[in-house]
Amino acid sequence: MRLTPLVLALICSSAAGDKLAKAKAQAGALEYPTALRAVREALEAGDANPDETAAIHAFTGELAAALGDRELARAEFSRALTLNPKLELPNASPRIRDALADARKRVSGAGLDVEAKSTRAADGSVSTAVVWTGDAFSLAAAARVYVEFNGTWVPVPDSKKWTCLEPCRWWAAAVDAHGNQLARAGRPDAPFVVAPVQGTKVAESTAPAAAVAPVVTSRPWYQRPGPYFTALAVVSAGLAAYFGATFAGNQQRLLQLEANRSQHYMSEAVALDASRKLNYGLMFGAIGLAVVAAAVAVFTW
């Protein structure tokens, strides 16, 4: 079955875009299951813009339809239409077009729409309220506000109170659970501008901490490596304790055997000594693994 290219032409300037391009190449080689895994990785990358997010869902729908998973195809096309109501696939196969048509019946309205409004307090700080409508499939998980700093758009840590340099330019987006943008209020090439406080001059030479503080991650804990390395460190520490206790027990038994050597065979001593050395090595191996895993967990939580 031949898959059609999506209507939206994307510039792969993000990890999500790169993975989507990889999935398309795999689909072009008829490697549909592999392409489906790649397009799911694109969604999990969490840095897609609205067009890329819609394209990821639409292409997932195409792949699902090609693989015969009609329910998944309808669900993904429904999400894609929520983000891009104008989605059309005129050159697609009948199986794909039918799934898209079924999804269009499930989606009503004009799709997801975001509105945002910022107000400035007397101290110069800004508070932004972001609301969205038309999210029939609960795609939006949070709102994110971006402020311009030195020609770069930086997400603010707290949309309820943030500061900026003059002129204070900003825009906002609704994002999904992975951090992908779904829809925007304003955009980088057409941002909003917050008027300065009357009678107050805001310094333009110093960057406020809130405006430049990076957002470490928007992903839930189970999608970050830190918790898993922490679990590995705990398990390794437990194994180290077990092997250490076994080693100490072997050591004690070997001393007892030595004290009563007339009642034992040499083979018993050799076997016990081999077990003692093995547990000694495993104990320190587990300790080393626990230390490394704990160090990695600190930097990847």
pLDDT in tens, 82-102: 999 999 988 889 999 999 999
Please work out, in degrees rounded to the nearest 5, the angle formed at the alpha carbon of residue 60 by the alpha carbons of 54 and 66: 140
CA-based Rg of the chain, rounded to a whole angstrom? 29
Nearest to 120 by CA among 75, 166, 163: 163
The proportion of the chain whose per-residue pLDDT surpasses 70, expressed as a percent, equals 86
Helix (H) or strand (E) holding 127: strand 126-133
List the single range of 14-23, 135-144, 204-213 with lowest mean pLDDT.
Answer: 204-213
User: pTM of whole model > 0.75?
Assistant: no
**Is the predicted pLDDT of residue 209 greater than 90, yes or no?**
no
pLDDT at 129: 94
Question: Region 128-143: what's the mean pLDDT?
Answer: 91
3-class secondary-structure state, position 173: strand
Q: Compute the distance between CA of residue 236 and CA of residue 290 in angstroms, rounded to an integer.
A: 5
Q: Compute the distance between CA of residue 299 and CA of residue 301 in angstroms, rounded to an integer.
A: 6
Q: What is the pLDDT of residues 36-70, one digit of tens each?
A: 999 999 999 999 999 999 999 999 999 999 999 99
Helix residue ranges, H only, the chain:
15-28, 32-45, 50-66, 70-83, 94-106, 209-212, 225-259, 266-300
- Position 299 confidence tier, pLDDT thresholds 50, 70, 90: confident
Nearest to 137 by CA among 75, 179, 86: 75
Residues 167 and 191 sit within 8 Å (Cβ to Cβ): no
pLDDT at 173: 94
Q: What is the DSSP letter of 180?
A: -
Give me the sign of the Cα torsion angle 291, 295, 298, 300: negative
List the single range of 61-65, 107-111, 227-231, 294-298 with lowest mean pLDDT.
Answer: 107-111
Distances (CA, A) of 71 to 55, 60, 62: 18, 12, 12
Q: Compute the distance between CA of residue 102 and CA of residue 70 in angstroms, rounded to an integer.
A: 10
Give me the sign of the Cα torsion angle 58, 61, 67, 68: negative
Cβ-Cβ contacts under 8 Å for 157 (sequence gap 6 or more): 210, 213, 215
- Position 295 confidence tier, pLDDT thresholds 50, 70, 90: confident
pLDDT at 222: 66
